[in-house]
Amino acid sequence: MANGKHLPFESETIDVAFCDCVFPHLGVVGDSYKIGSTHFNDRLELVREMTRVVRPGGHIVVSSPNRFFPFDLFHGRDTGSYRPRPYWPGDKFLLSVGDYRQLFRMARCRKATALPVEGYWGFIQARLTWKGMLFGMPVRFVFWLVSRSFGKPLGGSPLCPWIVVQIEKL
């Protein structure tokens, strides 16, 4: 773990870098989900730093909620609430597979591929209550569906709330 904009590693020494749900929080106003004017440059700065430390042929794996899903299940909810926040895909707080692809291409990377999401989230807290179990079932089903070969094209679509993207450095 380190500050993503100043990683404490020599250039091209890491085989795989992983960044979990950090990108949406770069360039926001305070501790919110409202993006500021520097959001794109802040995200690009993290991309360039991650790319700097990964060796050629190495990989970067990023994950976050999917911008194209019509609800944000992870931000802007009241504590203990299972009610998702409606989300407009034109909002740039969250990212899509294409957004990651664009950012990493600017840092000389290729092959941004959506990975399976089944098992990524355990929904452990949600399983402690009947409401959590009930509301978590559709999300777990979608994660299962998009992680199958026949459902793979649905990964990153408006049907899937979460994305995991693997990028290869040139």
Task: Name the pairing type of β-strands 14-20 and 54-65.
Answer: parallel
Structure confidence by residue, pLDDT tens digits, 74-123: 888 777 777 888 999 999 999 999 999 999 999 999 889 999 898 887 66
- Amino acid 138: pLDDT: 85
DSSP annotation string for 11-67: TT-EEEEEEES-GGGTTBSSSSS-B-TTHHHHHHHHHHHHHHHEEEEEEEEEEEEBT
**What's the order of all strands across the beta sheet hosting 14-20?**
14-20, 54-65, 162-169, 109-114
- Amino acid 4: pLDDT: 87
Residue closest to 165 by CA, chosen among 98, 70, 68, 71: 98
- Give residue 98's Cα distance to chain centre: 11
Domain residue spans in the chain? Answer: 14-169
Euclidean distance between CA atoms 168 and 100, whole angstroms = 12
Percentage with pLDDT > 90 across the chain: 59
Structure confidence by residue, pLDDT tens digits, 129-142: 887 788 788 888 88
14-169, which class in CATH? alpha beta
Asked if residues 69 and 158 have their Cβ atoms less than 8 Å apart, the reply is yes
At 86, list the tokens.
Answer: 């409606």
Residue closest to 42 by CA, chosen among 27, 23, 20, 22: 27
Mean per-residue pLDDT of the chain: 90
- Amino acid 140: pLDDT: 85
Task: Name the pairing type of β-strands 71-72 and 85-86.
Answer: antiparallel
Q: % helix / strand / coil in the chain, to the nearest 5?
A: 30, 25, 45
